Amino acid sequence: MSTVFDQARQVMPGGVSSPVRAFGSVGGSPVFIQQAKAAYVTSIENRQYVDLVGSWGPALLGHAHPDVVQAVVEAAGRGLSFGAPTLGETALATLITKRVGGIDKVRFTSTGTEAVMGAVRLARGFTSRDLIIKFAGCYHGHSDALLAAAGSGVATAGLPGSAGVTAGAAHDTLVLPYNDVDALKAAFAQHGSSIAAVVTEAAAANMGIVPPLPGFNAAIRELTREHGALMIFDEVLTGFRVSSAGWWGLEGRTEGWTPDLYTFGKVTGGGLPLAALAGPAGIMDLLAPLGPVYQAGTLSGNPLAVAAGLATLKLADDTVYATVDGFANQLEAVISQRLNAASVPHRVQRAGSLLSVFWGESPASAPVLTYDDAQRQDTALFARFFHAMLDEGVLLPPSAFEAWFISAAHGDKELELLDAALTRAAASVGNGESAR
Ligand SMILES: *Cc1c(COP(=O)(O)O)cnc(C)c1O
């Protein structure tokens, strides 16, 4: 273990501020980062890595885009936090209402966790019902009601859920298998009049990438409407990442439906703590101060975070999305070629520009549709591959259950570096026992 990690662990649980950063499932010491620029991060040992973590999503434009940094610096010059309304919030809320369908109003929070927690409370307030349906493997932040079968971080830690969540909180959450319309129909048939909301990731990306089967999200829309429940579409990860209108822009817009509530985060704050819940006025106006559903935050809508979000979303034009899509296509092809050449059993899954790799014979033999499928992968194989890539100068997310995040700053040079690294890393794990 490195000295810096030892020191960190003496004063912080696991040495980290968020569990998956601790390298628990891949072993070894985390890379401590001193700075990041475009497609690269630099460790405190001054080693540069091609970065596919992208701060777990926000870095759509690449790290430290000069225009975003300048917007933040200018905002900082005017003061760090006021606890009062600003013009920037109105501008960012307006931009969101214009990009995504079915949104009149936006409430800003600091984290995605708060946004989904607020959306759930709002749905319960609106419907006067208690039950929430979530899908196994979908992550909606670490609030009590949503921690059951919550995917990546929890899966990486090998926990079924979390200690410290009361039976009461868990009792009001029904967990169903993802992509299973029959299970959803059965749950509505049994509990229909008590269900406040179905909360789902717009495309599941926290158990690895598991795209919704065609018609799955539309079925959620139909069943919730039929039974008077709300559909909460969690776009904290997909929002403004897979298209200028998020996953809804790829699916709901063409199919002609909107959810009742959306949640956003990650790209929305461009790397600073900012998230949001959003929806039609008829629901959103139940929030305090207009309505009885309380929701608040000292730093909510922070002027620096709003400046970073506004600058990021303004820069995220069609060219950016085309660039990221194009790179994802190329990277997918290269990953498959190199892993196949070394006989490493795997499956690459995609949701728009989001991509992840499932490891081992089970995912290689059939698509991953559910959390059960995702858990049947060979995480030990990934751990060896992860360290081989790290040795080659590529920082992957240190968990087999995470997306590999691409930015608009990833180009031909980075693809070449990744190709070379993938070739050698695949060869090194392909020689191991798990090769076919
Ligand atoms: C990251 C994430 C969250 C939680 O956001 P935080 O800002 O980490 O609290 C919620 N939902 C989804 C889909 C996410 O990917």
The residue whose C-alpha atom lies closest to atom 6 belonging to ligand 1 is: 112
SS3 125: helix
Q: What is the pTM of this model?
A: 0.96
CA distance 232 to 215: 16
Q: Is 381 left (phi over 0), alpha (psi -120 to 50) or beta?
A: alpha
Residues with CB under 6 A from ligand 1: 111-113, 116, 139-141, 201, 206, 234, 236-237, 265, 275
Please pick, among 180, 266, 321, 378, the residue that the annotation labels catalytic.
Answer: 266
Cross-strand partners of 429:
none
Asked if 371 is an active-site residue, the reply is no
- Cis previous bond, 345, omega within 30: no
Summarised one tens digit per residue, pLDDT across range 213-246 is 999 999 999 999 999 999 999 999 999 999 999 9
Helices within 316-378 (DSSP H only):
318-341, 361-365, 371-375
Reading the block at residue 37, the tokens are 């620029």
Please pick, among 139, 178, 321, 371, the residue that the annotation labels catalytic.
Answer: 139
pLDDT tens per residue across all 436 residues of the chain = 689 999 999 999 999 999 999 999 999 999 999 999 999 999 999 999 999 999 999 999 999 999 999 999 999 999 999 999 999 999 999 999 999 999 999 999 999 999 999 999 999 999 999 999 999 999 999 998 888 766 656 555 544 568 888 877 778 899 999 999 999 999 999 999 999 999 999 999 999 999 999 999 999 999 999 999 999 999 999 999 999 999 999 999 999 999 999 999 999 999 999 999 999 999 999 999 999 999 999 999 999 999 999 999 999 999 999 999 999 999 999 999 999 999 999 999 999 999 999 999 999 999 999 999 999 999 999 999 999 999 999 999 999 999 999 999 999 999 999 999 999 999 999 865 443 3
Asked if 266 is an active-site residue, the reply is yes
d(CA 241, ligand 1 centre) in Å = 13
Summarised one tens digit per residue, pLDDT across range 291-344 is 999 999 999 999 999 999 999 999 999 999 999 999 999 999 999 999 999 999
Phi first, then psi: give them for residue 322, nearest 5 degrees: -65, -40
Q: At what angle do helices 303-315 and 66-77 cross, to 10 degrees?
A: 150
Asked if 139 is an active-site residue, the reply is yes
Please pick, among 180, 234, 373, 378, the residue that the annotation labels catalytic.
Answer: 234
Phi first, then psi: give them for residue 126, nearest 5 degrees: -70, -40
